[in-house]
Amino acid sequence: MERLKNKDLLDTDVLTKEEALLIIDTAFKFKAGSLKSLPLSDEIVSLLFFEPSTRTKNSFEIAGKRLGAMVVAMDTSGSSLIKGESALNTVRTLQAMGVNFFVIRHRESGFPYQIADKVSASIINAGDGTRGHPTQALLDAMTMIESRGDLEGKKVVIVGDILHSRVARSNIWLLKKLGAEVILVGPPEFLPGDFKRLGVEISYSLDDVIQDTDILMGLRIQRERMEKMSISVEEYIRRYQINEERIRKARPDLIVLHPGPVNVGIEMTEDVLYSEKSLVERQVTNGVFIRMAILSLLKETRDYGSNA
């Protein structure tokens, strides 16, 4: 496959396996130094973040600039949106000014979908509510493949607040397409049984599944949610924390990931976070290359026409 079929990247559930691998392979080429020109030199990328972000927003800005694009980070708190203009009107207004890409993060699940079919510019979902975060899932998969090779048959355990995690959903959809066996772990209040319909296994004990795990991914826990639940922070740490004691029970080639930011001492101990098994910083590095790949491939699709 040479090109993506759609002008937008809305989530991993609408990507084919071949498209996902094309993005990842392109990212590896960029990481190897294959950028010989500036494919986005005539393009404008607008970053529309309606929620705070450090990693994703800065990563897209760096990716766009490396490809030669003009990158505009809009301050949504001081924009016309505060004066009553709808987000769609804002996007269409910016498109009329020449913006070619909109990277959007919004607290409302499904928000990028509402915009995508009403504009000709490319829409990239940088996180929508609790639904999805496709670029995070793609950089996670790139990092896993870089370390462990083909994911077919690999056992990937995701532990934490699955219920509220857009990262978990996008990873589940993508990892299943890439042939991985996905096991979700967490307290029952964070892990409803209906997740089984996504073709994954569910466990309420990390100790029960860690022994045969190839890849272990922690998710961020928000203290404000913990305060409303029956499980205490101390109990969560005892049952689900990624720490050296648990790592010793696992395969010697286990790798550990986390989308960040990490609550050190809750989801993961500091010694694990900075150990050789941790690929958390590599995830951040690979995020720039994945986003470069997405921007460049979506431009090719727009240039040659898409099915969207």
Question: Could you report the per-residue pLDDT of 105-114, keeping only the tens digit for each?
Answer: 999 999 999 9
CA distances from 47 to 3, 59, 72, 76, 243 (A): 24, 11, 6, 10, 36
CA distances from 286 to 140, 161, 222, 283 (A): 8, 24, 25, 5
Place of tokens 């609550």: 263
Is 202:190 a contact under the CB 8 Å cutoff? no
Return d(Cα 106, Cα 148) in angstroms, integer: 33
Closest among 188, 194, 187, 189 to 172, alpha carbons compared = 194
Q: Give the per-residue pLDDT at 223.
A: 72
pLDDT at residue 308 above 60?
no
pLDDT at residue 307 above 90?
no
Return d(Cα 298, Cα 101) in angstroms, integer: 9
Place of tokens 């020109």: 37
Question: Could you tell me the pTM of the whole model?
Answer: 0.95
Q: Give the per-residue pLDDT at 222.
A: 80
pLDDT at residue 80 above 60?
no
Please state the rounded mean pLDDT for residues 136-153. Answer: 99
Please state the rounded mean pLDDT for residues 175-189. Answer: 97
Is 46:274 a contact under the CB 8 Å cutoff? no
Per DSSP, which regions of 113-272 are E strands? 122-128, 155-159, 181-185, 201-203, 215-218, 255-257
Q: Give the per-residue pLDDT at 306.
A: 59
Tokens for 176?
A: 């299943």
Domain with CATH 3.40.50.1370 in the chain: 12-133+285-304, 134-280
Closest among 20, 39, 18, 34 to 100, alpha carbons compared = 39
CATH superfamily of 12-133+285-304: Aspartate/ornithine carbamoyltransferase (3.40.50.1370)
Higher pLDDT, 227 or 128: 128
Sheet (strand 122-128) strand order: 70-74, 44-49, 101-106, 122-128
Q: Give the per-residue pLDDT at 82.
A: 47
- What is the enclosing helix (H) or strand (E) of 284? helix 280-304
Q: The dihedral of CA 228, 200, 156, 259: what is its sign?
A: negative
Return d(Cα 180, Cα 174) in angstroms, integer: 9
Return d(Cα 144, Cα 139) in angstroms, integer: 9
- Give 134-280's CATH code, choosing from 1.10.287.110, 1.10.10.10, 3.20.20.70, 3.40.50.1370: 3.40.50.1370
| Confidence band of 83 (pLDDT split at 50, 70, 90) | very low
Q: Give the per-residue pLDDT at 84.
A: 44
Q: Give the per-residue pLDDT at 157.
A: 99
Residue 143, amino acid: T
Counting Cβ atoms within 10 Å, is residue 287 exposed (0-12), middle (13-18) or buried (19+)? Answer: buried
Return d(Cα 135, Cα 53) in angstroms, integer: 14
Return d(Cα 138, Cα 175) in angstroms, integer: 9
Question: Could you report the per-residue pLDDT of 214-267, keeping only the tens digit for each?
Answer: 999 999 998 767 667 788 999 999 999 999 999 999 999 999 999 999 999 999
Return d(Cα 24, Cα 142) in angstroms, integer: 6
Q: Give the per-residue pLDDT at 78.
A: 55
Tokens for 128?
A: 């929508």
Please state the rounded mean pLDDT for residues 45-74. Answer: 95
Average pLDDT, the chain: 94
The Cβ of residue 16 has, within 10 Å, a number of other Cβ atoms equal to: 12
Q: Give the per-residue pLDDT at 79.
A: 56
Please state the rounded mean pLDDT for residues 151-174. Answer: 97
Return d(Cα 308, Cα 303) in angstroms, integer: 13
